Amino acid sequence: MTTYKSKMVERIHLPAREERAANLEAAGYNLFNLDADDVFVDLLTDSGTGTMSDEQWAAMIRGDEAYAGSSSFRKLEDAVADVMGFDYVVPAHQGRGAENVLYGTILEEGDVVLNNTHFDTTRAHVANQGAEAVDCPVPEASEFDAEGDFKGNFSVDEARRVVDEVGADAVPAVILTITNNSAAGQPVSVANTREVREFCDEIDATFVVDACRFAENAYFVTQREPEFADASVAEVAREQLSYADAAVMSGKKDGLVNIGGFVACNDETLFEHAKQRGILYEGFSTYGGMSGRDIEAMAVGLREAVEEAYIADRVEQVRFLGERIAEHGVPVFQPVGGHAVYLDAGAFLPHIPAEEFPGQALAVEIYREGGVRCVELGSFAFPDSDRPELVRMAVPRRMYHKEHIEHVVDTVAAVWERRDEIGGYEVVDEPPMKEIRHFSAELAPL
């Protein structure tokens, strides 16, 4: 049940069907090229798109814009210590800024980094240091219908195989991404986190948690891991993060802000090194690419993220969306993850081969049908990979009401009804860097 009421509203409008068709054509059938004003319900990402609370807006007025020694930064340090249990904070403009700071500090050319699944920017920052990113998900992570409470877990068996091959000295860091965004937002158990800690001790590696969605993960733990059935989300979050040497954080997710991030740790030497790199790339060590008001809002947001009423409402809304869509027979990744519902476009549109981008075809039809924007994560976004054909519907935090969610369900159900009539696409114009083509390439229906 929602525990909010609105104090400020923003108009949205659903363009007429012919306008939506024209918008798609003008956008080259790439939803990144749409004007956001032409989108009715925007499920492109849960990153930086959520609604701030009145307390956060009030805090913004108090933002201290001092270049050095900002009191807002002290409040952020206190929030990180209280909520996440880390003593030291290096601020950054967003998650990938924090990744650059931390991975540039601890990685060297030729290193190997293990992760349950590297998110795209993480993989890119590991590669940018000349290191190799190796995923170690549990096998059920890629199985759409497999049962499992913690399909986001890290496979220590797989990691041991990699270490046997490359040697422990080659692996200076192990990352645990909670929840596992690239595995349908599936959670990671505390038991698994402890195993990863032991494994890191065994091979003498730094244990990093990518904590973007740490509060959502903690909520799942309270629901699914018997040891924590009576624990609060705040207690679980502290417990889970206590095993890590460092955390990278995108405040745009469970920081409940529109921009911001940081690296956090308890080791003074690591902190000092990261701080220097932070100054070089992000800004002085008490603002790191954020304004004082952004920092102030994140300090409040981190505390709100672990409030029971908020987090239950948040994760249950995503589950409601996924389960209602699945009731229509639509192939939905099970169980539903913390921040998004993932549709299996390969099974939804089996008559469209990978070369004709079934995921993109589905995302386009969902916009055409109901003005709903989601994102393709299949052969269009990841060319030359054997990833499944996914469409992600990520739900912004505290933004949409039940009516919006029901509109999305009706929209997907209507597309499902006419799925046999949907055709594939070809790329007609793409930028030189294929890895990021999905942000700007243009397509045409076949």
The single residue among 137, 152, 255, 261 that binds ligand F0G, judged by CB under 6 A, is: 261
The verdict on 116 binding ligand F0G (CB under 6 A) reads no
Three-state SS for 39-77 is CCEECCCCCCCCCCCHHHHHHHHCCCCCCCCCHHHHHHH
Nearest residue to ligand F0G, scored by beta-carbon proximity: 95
Q: How far apart are CA 133 and CA 125, in angstroms?
A: 9
Shortest approach of ligand F0G to residue 83 CB, angstroms?
A: 18
Residues forming a β-bridge with 376: 391
Q: How far apart are CA 442 and CA 339, in angstroms?
A: 28
Residue corresponding to tokens 């990113």: 133
Residue 130: Cβ-neighbour burial (10 angstroms; 0-12, 13-18, 19+): exposed
Stretch that binds ligand F0G, among 5-13, 24-32, 114-122, 217-225 (CB under 6 A): 114-122
Shortest approach of ligand F0G to residue 118 CB, angstroms?
A: 9
The single residue among 210, 225, 294, 344 that binds ligand F0G, judged by CB under 6 A, is: 210
Which residue lies nearer to ligand F0G by CB, 23 or 250?
250
Stretch that binds ligand F0G, among 92-100, 325-333, 358-366, 399-407 (CB under 6 A): 92-100
The single residue among 50, 63, 95, 388 that binds ligand F0G, judged by CB under 6 A, is: 95
The conformational region for residue 209 under phi > 0 = left, psi -120 to 50 = alpha, else beta, is beta
Shortest approach of ligand F0G to residue 18 CB, angstroms?
A: 30
The verdict on 77 binding ligand F0G (CB under 6 A) reads no
Q: Cβ–Cβ contacts within 10 Å for residue 431, how many?
A: 12
The verdict on 193 binding ligand F0G (CB under 6 A) reads no
Stretch that binds ligand F0G, among 115-123, 190-198, 293-301, 438-446 (CB under 6 A): 115-123
Task: Return the H-helix or E-strand segment holding 442.
Answer: strand 442-445
The tokens of 320 are what? 């409601």
The single residue among 252, 314, 324, 397 that binds ligand F0G, judged by CB under 6 A, is: 252
Which residue lies nearer to ligand F0G by CB, 20 or 180?
180
The single residue among 40, 86, 88, 119 that binds ligand F0G, judged by CB under 6 A, is: 119
Q: How far apart are CA 206 and CA 227, in angstroms?
A: 26
- Concatenating the DSSP letter of every residue in 287-305 gives TTTS-HHHHHHHHHHHHHH
Q: How far apart are CA 412 and CA 427, in angstroms?
A: 24
Residue corresponding to tokens 């009706």: 410
Task: Provide CB contacts within 8 A for 41, sequence distance 6+.
Answer: 12, 370, 371, 372, 373, 400, 404, 407, 408
Shortest approach of ligand F0G to residue 229 CB, angstroms?
A: 27
The single residue among 116, 129, 181, 217 that binds ligand F0G, judged by CB under 6 A, is: 181
Which of 389, 391, 356 minimizes the C-alpha distance to 374?
Answer: 391
Shortest approach of ligand F0G to residue 368 CB, angstroms?
A: 22
Stretch that binds ligand F0G, among 117-125, 198-206, 274-282, 433-441 (CB under 6 A): 117-125
For 92, the 3-state DSSP assignment is strand
The verdict on 121 binding ligand F0G (CB under 6 A) reads yes
The single residue among 30, 40, 52, 96 that binds ligand F0G, judged by CB under 6 A, is: 96
Q: Are 16 and 372 in contact (CB under 8 A)?
A: no
Which residue lies nearer to ligand F0G by CB, 29 or 119?
119
Q: Where are the alpha helices (DSSP H) in 306-357?
A: 308-327, 345-348
Which residue lies nearer to ligand F0G by CB, 47 or 286?
47
Q: Are 27 and 428 in contact (CB under 8 A)?
A: no
Which of 359, 320, 319 minimizes the C-alpha distance to 337?
Answer: 319
Which residue lies nearer to ligand F0G by CB, 125 or 407?
125
Q: How many residues does the chain have?
A: 446
Q: Within positions 47 to 66, which residues make up the interface with ligand F0G, using CB under 6 A?
A: 47
Which residue lies nearer to ligand F0G by CB, 251 or 370?
251
Which residue lies nearer to ligand F0G by CB, 8 or 433?
433
Shortest approach of ligand F0G to residue 382 CB, angstroms?
A: 14
Stretch that binds ligand F0G, among 4-12, 34-42, 116-124, 263-271 (CB under 6 A): 116-124
Q: Within positions 231 to 250, which residues make up the interface with ligand F0G, using CB under 6 A?
A: 250
Footprint on this chain of ligand F0G (rule: CB under 6 A): 45, 47, 94-96, 119, 121-122, 177, 181, 210, 212, 250, 252, 261
